[in-house]
Structure 1
Amino acid sequence: MTQPARSDEPIWWALFSAGGVCFAVLIPGVILTLAIAYPLGLLPENALDYAKIRQWLFSDYWGLAGLVLVGAGLCLPLFHAMHRVHHGMHDLMLRAGGWGKVLCYGSASLLSVLALYFWYLGLSAS
């Protein structure tokens, strides 16, 4: 009996799923806050003050929350989007093979590392 070939697809599907969930949970909250609650005056005047948000995202106590927001709000949806692009190329019969996978997931990885690096620079500057 032969062993089935191992695949890396479960990793990409897990990142796709996690990115879709984070995107579906975070984006409605952001829209509710920025497009509805703040313009209607339901939030305090200085609720979206840059210095206040920066202090919250990069403080020693709340720094982990900033990391989670960057990871859940940027990195995981990047993998979600690039997984869709990769499978969209397949559906359009653009057989990119391994290069398409490297291009899609590599760009999502690179952008994720850059996002976390810039978050870290903001943390170290605080």
Structure 2
Amino acid sequence: MKQDSKVNLSPKRSEEPIWWSLFGAGGTWFAMLTPITILVVGILIPLEIIELEALHFERVSAFAASFIGGAFIIASIALPMWHAMHRVHHGMHDLKFHTGTTGKVFCYGFAALMSVLAIVFIFML
């Protein structure tokens, strides 16, 4: 049986799964952990349900200098940034701002820059 359409046996690879995975990870992180952070830092501590001593400089600095604390802070900055920049990139396209490769490089480059800066600042502690 003969097919009318040809099957492309060597399709062009796309980098889109990389951006979508960072977008998904950032959205999940932002949806799951950011509300807890806001609850603790923005509501429970000011209402004195959690003692203010829990956030003394020495304690927070020790947490940030630990591996788990540093990873948490880096992920809290980097992952939502990737999510936001992916939304900006596709939002520009939806609003008919077709920036092409320049827009992609700017958006993802900015997210990468913020991620690198987060890593550098954590390692400087």
Give the residue type in structure 1 aligned to 2:109.
G
TM-score, length-normalised on structure 2?
A: 0.88
Describe the SS at the equivalent of 1:6.
coil
2:51 corresponds to 1:48 = no
| 2:74 alignment counterpart | 71
**Cα deviation digits, residues 2-38 of structure 1 (max 9, x gap):** 2322111110000000000111112111111012211
- The secondary structure found in structure 2 opposite 1:46 is helix
TM-superposed CA distance for 1:121, in Å, is 0.4
Letter in 1 for 2:15: D
Identity %: 47
Selected match of 1:27 from 20, 29, 34:
34
Q: Give the corresponding residue for 1:15.
A: 22
Which entry has the higher C-alpha Rg, 1 or 2?
A: 2
Q: Is 1:100 matched with 2:103? A: yes
Q: In the TM superposition, what is the alpha-carbon distance from 1:113 to its structure 2 partner?
A: 0.2
d(CA) in 1 for partners of 2:41, 2:74: 20
SS at match of 1:47: helix
Runs of 4+ in 1 over 2 A off after TM superposition: none
Give the TM-score normalised by structure 1.
0.88
Aligned with 1:111 (options 111, 114, 123): 114
Residue 71 of structure 1 deviates from its aligned partner by 2.6
Query: Is there any run of 5+ residues in structure 1 with no aligned partner, and where?
Result: none
- Name the aligned partner's letter for residue 72 of structure 1: A
